[in-house]
Amino acid sequence: MSEFDYFQLNALTLNSREKAIFYNLCEGYGVSETTVKQVLSGLLKEGIIEMKSNNSNRGAKDIHKSTLMSKQQSYPYSRYINHPYRNPPVPIEVGAKIAQPMEPERSLRMEDINKLLDPSYNADDMGYCIQEDGTGYIGQTIRFDGATREMFLWWFSWHGHETVRYRIWDPRNHKASKSSLRHIVQRLDTNLSLTERFVNTTNFTVHLDSKGKPDPGYMSFLAPEVYGFNMSLYDENKISVVCAVNGKADSPFPWFSSLRVLQDIPEGFLMRIYFWYGKVVFNGNIIRVKHNTSLESLYPMAEHVAIEYNRLADILPLVYRENHNIVNSPEEFDAMPV
């Protein structure tokens, strides 16, 4: 048996019977089983998980610890690990919206995302529900005062390179992040626009689920036109979008989609964020996939979204000001060599 037969992350064991595979649906989606092994090897090196002997005592290390390794502590942005959360971490108005499931008719169908390109769109689509066709849905609106859309796009070209950048976003729940070398090279290419730097790249991450268990997954970023936006209506001077499909390490392909839509306001920008569980984009088409999302499982995710993005709204102007002009090279990161 290979050394990877002794890993268990989120009750998932890599062996001949049950393989956790990130693999290609199309260009930019996941990679291979080899890369999964590289991800886990990197997490072992960083102390996120540990290798156990082949017995019933297999499992993850204490992943709740907020401490960083000495090398990670030397990163100038690592101090944001200790940046306080909002009090309360979920804003009162958001908490009221997600206290109970919303009426499905108020939610936004994924097929209707072009409505979001209208600057006057102001529908009250915040909340969570199971839509009429069985899709799990989350929608939230979050203000980023003192920030710009450029800062947000920069964040998505910057934070996935390594673990500390991902952890400062939400230290309580974000535990590890990896990207492939070729994707880091792309994200560091200043000849590309900020959006072009992260489109067709993938973040492999570990965060804690609602039960406090490590949950490995990935997010693959897509171009707006691939995601289904009508580019004849798209005015990047008025709006920006970050489109992605998401999956878990134990799923053979992405099984939900996420979308962030940014629009300027006098104080900064407004972000509308959406999740559709059970729908993904493939070659420009929306397809339905099997999922077991329930109302009970949607609530903690809606709460998590509120916490992490309101925290990001607090730290983004600070992190951007201190880091956006720093020029990195790919060799500085412990990337997956693919």
Q: How far is CA 255 from CA 132, 220, 287, 326, in A?
A: 18, 12, 10, 36
- Per-residue pLDDT, averaged over 23-45, amounts to 45
What's the pLDDT band for 36 if we cut at 50, 70, 90?
Answer: low
- Per-residue pLDDT, averaged over 136-158, amounts to 97
> Which tens digit of pLDDT belongs to each residue from 47-92?
544 433 333 333 333 333 445 656 677 888 999 999 999 999 998 9
* Strand pairing category for 136-145 and 239-248: unpaired
Range in 14-23, 174-183, 320-329 the model is least confident about: 14-23
User: Are 28 and 202 contacting, i.e. CB atoms less than 8 angstroms apart?
Assistant: yes
pTM of structure: 0.83
For the chain, domains (ranges, CATH) are 76-332 (3.30.530.20)
Per-chain mean pLDDT for the chain: 81
> Which tens digit of pLDDT belongs to each residue from 258-298?
999 999 999 999 999 999 999 998 767 898 888 889 999 99
> Which tens digit of pLDDT belongs to each residue from 201-252?
988 888 888 888 878 888 999 999 999 999 999 999 999 999 999 987 656 5
> Could you tell me the maximum CA-CA distance found in the chain, to the nearest angstrom?
60
> Which tens digit of pLDDT belongs to each residue from 181-203?
889 999 999 999 999 999 999 88
Alpha helices in 24-130 (DSSP H): 33-45, 70-73, 92-97
Q: Tell me the percentage of the chain whose pLDDT exceeds 70.
A: 77
Rounded to a whole number of angstroms, the CA Rg of the chain reads 19
**pLDDT recorded at residue 54:** 35
Tell me: cis bond preceding 300? Omega within 30 of 0 counts.
no
Closest CA to 200 of 170, 225, 217: 225
Distance between CA atoms of residues 16 and 97, nearest Å: 45
**pLDDT recorded at residue 40:** 53
Residue with structure tokens 């390594």?
162
Is pLDDT at 160 greater than 90 in this prediction? yes
The burial class, CB within 10 Å (0-12 / 13-18 / 19+), for 210 is: middle
Please tell me which residue, 12 or 257, carries the higher pLDDT value: 257
Is pLDDT at 15 greater than 80 in this prediction? no
Q: How many CB atoms lie within 10 A of CB 246?
A: 19
**pLDDT recorded at residue 4:** 25
- Per-residue pLDDT, averaged over 22-28, amounts to 30
Amino acid identity, position 121: Y
Range in 124-128, 178-182, 213-217 the model is least confident about: 213-217
Specify the 3-state DSSP secondary structure of 159: helix
End-to-end CA gap in the chain: 24
Query: Alpha carbon 63 to chain centroid distance?
Result: 19
